[in-house]
Structure 1
């Protein structure tokens, strides 16, 4: 027995690249399986690391409807790679969806909602996805994915007409939700929401034309200040009559750059 002992032989544990580790002894070799498979680990890594993202989405209510706006850019990191991606999705003639954040997760949400709408049509029971119903359903979806540790890294804005009244709500990636008359996601929360809220709170109910002009100001400010913003954007106006989409483009004025100091 004494002859088998070798004081120079290493006796520490060795760890390989596959998350299994072997405990080496002179008489047995134990292998402990990893807590998750390689496929599961890859899925988790892709989920928590957004690759193609969209910037801010702005929305607010006005007298008789709701207006939303978002640019059509999909940013691959700092690269303005995809320049014609719609981030406002029409669910039906009264309900629309605004999406910001990871665009692959946004596509998943749109497909899931379209599947639910198709099921309602097939059942022929007269039910229709209202803004409040979609708001509650999105909350449950986002919260469920969060509890599975596989969140959808997307901010959802639900807008439309509920009982002939404007409806606007937001659901974040953790499933937290709230309803408000003004919602801006992304960096637009810091760059535009303050002064727009002041305008909306101090003025009386604005009409459709004024709302569209104010939204153009919001998008122009975001284009000036947000490095992930894009000049071309999409505007959606929801009223009791219809859902109207418009494609516009910011016309910037850089003459003010000469008056700026300490910006290098």
Structure 2
């Protein structure tokens, strides 16, 4: 059985690889399996590094509803290129969606959700995308894409009013999900979540004005510390009365900058 085997005879792989065709004067016959080559090509072309990204999203519940905030910047690497890209999407009168991460994947998610909402309207059965329904649907979407080795590199925050009670949940790019009274994505999860959680846990339920003041403080802190943050941002407040959007801008105070030393 081993009579025809020559250990000194070069043996090349049959996979279509660029290095396989750089062999001088090779008389090798290339046998390519179309199915294997197509599968390999599909895996190699998956997006593994987001190009245009959005930074942190902050959200927490208060006495009468849920408040969210995110800046409107789309960063092309480290370039502040797209300066009017809202990342909070209203689904209906009681449900909103906020995204961070790859903005092209975020646009795909928004279009998929809008298509689902249109399908529900066509049915005319009174069904409506509630926050809990959207939360569950997004977990299935993200997990499905993950199992296909083509994940959507985006973090999703679903917020709204479920049975007249505040609802807040997060889904990551792997389809893992959880519900909490305070959720932050991006670097804000490390820079701001600790002291905000302390405030919310040690105080009674905030009213709408107090929640808005706290959110402005959060976004200002992130603007100081996050190099991908932007001064202009949008605040979304969801209550039983509906969804309200506000466009705001951080007014920074850099008077302490000359006093800082050894910060490089």
Q: Normalization by structure 1: what TM-score?
A: 0.90
| Structure 2 residue 233 is the aligned partner of structure 1 residue 217 | no
Partner of 1:84: 84
* Aligned twin of 2:17: 19
Match of 2:171 in 1: 171
CA distance in 2 between counterparts of 1:43 and 1:126 reads 42
- How many matched pairs? 253
The residue that corresponds to 2:227 in the other structure is 227
Counterpart mapping for 1:141-180 below 5 A? 141-180=141-180
Cα deviation for residue 70 of structure 1 reads 0.2
Deviation at 1:262, TM superposition (A): 1.0
Is the CA contact 2:66–2:237 (under 8 Å) kept in the aligned structure 1?
yes
Q: Distance in 1 between matches of 2:158 and 2:28?
A: 60
Provide closer, same or farther for how the CA distance between residues 144 and 13 of structure 1 changes in structure 2, counting only shifts above 3 A.
same
TM superposition shift of 1:242: 1.2
Write out per-residue CA displacement over residues 56-107 of structure 1, whole angstroms, 9 at most, x where no aligned residue: 0000000010000000000000000000001000000000000000000000
**Partner Cα distance (1:223, 1:171) in 2:** 24
Alpha-carbon deviation of 1:30?
Answer: 4.5
Give the conservation status (yes or no) of the 8 Å contact 2:238–2:244.
yes
CA distance in 1, matches of 2:121, 2:258: 58
Q: Measure how far apart 1:41 and its partner are.
A: 4.7
1:146, 1:249 → 2: CA distance?
36
Q: What are structure 1's unaligned runs of at least 5 residues?
A: 1-9
Tell me the equivalent position of 1:6: none
* Superposed displacement of residue 13, structure 1: 4.3
CA shift in 2, pair 1:256/1:28, >3 Å: closer
Q: Partner of 1:184 in structure 2?
A: 184
1:66 counterpart = 2:85: no
The 3-state SS of whatever aligns with 2:144 is helix
Secondary structure of 2:261's counterpart equals coil
SS of the residue corresponding to residue 127 of structure 1 reads coil
Instruction: Give 5+ residue unaligned stretches, structure 2.
Output: 1-7
Equivalent residue runs for 1:108-127 within 5 Å: 108-127=108-127
More displaced 10-residue stretch of structure 1: 209-218 or 26-35: 26-35
Q: Displacement of 1:17 after TM fit? A: 10
Deviation, 1:261, is 2.0
More displaced, 202-211 or 15-24? 15-24
Q: Distance in 1 between matches of 2:16 and 2:29?
A: 17
**Does the 8 Å contact 2:101/2:154 carry over to 1?**
yes
